Amino acid sequence: MIHILIVEDEKPINNLIRMSLKRAGYTCDAAYDGLEAMEFLEQHSYDLILLDVMLPQMDGFSLMEYIRPMGVPVIFITAMNNVMDRVKGLRMGAEDYIVKPFEILELLARVDVVLRRYNKTESLMTVGDLAIDTVARTVERKGVLLKLTPKEYDLLLLFARNPNVALYRETIYERVWNEEYPFGSKTVDLHIQRLRKKVGWEKKLRAVNKVGYRLEV
């Protein structure tokens, strides 16, 4: 199980991040100041740290000096107008940064990218009666190998990594097809219809009115 430390002093933001990551299948600890974060780091091993810059007791940059020898990837959380903070964080060795305010889907995507960069993503995922091998890019249902197209597999993985999150059609298209969503396109809907039938998600992969789709698990 992937273990993530969230270091953010604003409790509503910390709680939102923690809840979202847990829904996506990660194990999380939450620290609200730099010294508390150090205590967690002394007691546990982490696969990723989400680190706010402005923290009580010890700021994010000072804490980064402590983290760097551990080799744990860090994503900095910064204020929108603090460009110098973002530059400094990257120069200190952070893998990425995310700017407040942010969309949860963007946060999950950045977390996923950094974990894959460090080969820390779990190669085997289970969603209901589906077994997904993210290395072999195969899907089995009750021991039977399913024949999915590359786009159907990418769709499946997107929803599997974002359970119970309503995803906009535009977001789905941009994440799976890697290009801007063509207005009025039915591509996403048609692929999802086929995916539902192939994997038995007729009741789980639900349409969300005026938004897109959500995998209910």
169 backbone dihedrals φ, ψ, rounded to 5°: -55, -40
Q: How many CA atoms lie within 13 A of 130 on its CB side?
A: 24
CATH number belonging to the domain at 3-117, selected among 3.40.50.720, 3.40.50.280, 3.40.50.2300, 3.40.50.300: 3.40.50.2300
For 192, list phi and psi in degrees, rounded to 5.
-70, -35
> Which strands, in side-by-side order, build the sheet including 138-141?
124-127, 130-133, 138-141, 144-145
Among 99, 38, 32, 30, CA closest to 65: 38
Q: For 137-178, write each residue's pLDDT tens digit.
A: 899 998 899 999 999 999 998 898 888 888 899 989 988 888
Sequence spans of domains, the chain:
3-117, 147-215
Comparing 81-85, 107-111, 183-187, 212-216, the range with the smallest average pLDDT is: 81-85
pLDDT value at position 122?
A: 65
Class of domain 147-215: mainly alpha
Give the per-residue pLDDT at 65.
Answer: 92
CB 213 within 8 Å of CB 189: no
Per-residue pLDDT of 57-72, as tens digits, reads 999 999 999 999 999 9
Q: What is the DSSP letter of 102?
A: -
The DSSP call for residue 54 is S
Query: What b/e sequence results for 35-71 when a residue is b if at least 16 CB atoms lie within 10 Å of its CB, and e otherwise?
Result: ebbbebbeeeebbbbbbbbebeebbbbebbeebeeee
How does pLDDT run across 24-47, given as a tens digit for each residue?
A: 778 899 999 999 999 999 999 999
The set of residues, in sequence order, having a beta carbon less than 8 Å from that of 65 and lying 6+ positions away, is: 92
Q: CA 129 to CA 34: how far, in whole Å?
A: 42
- pLDDT band at residue 126 using 50, 70 and 90 as cut-offs: confident
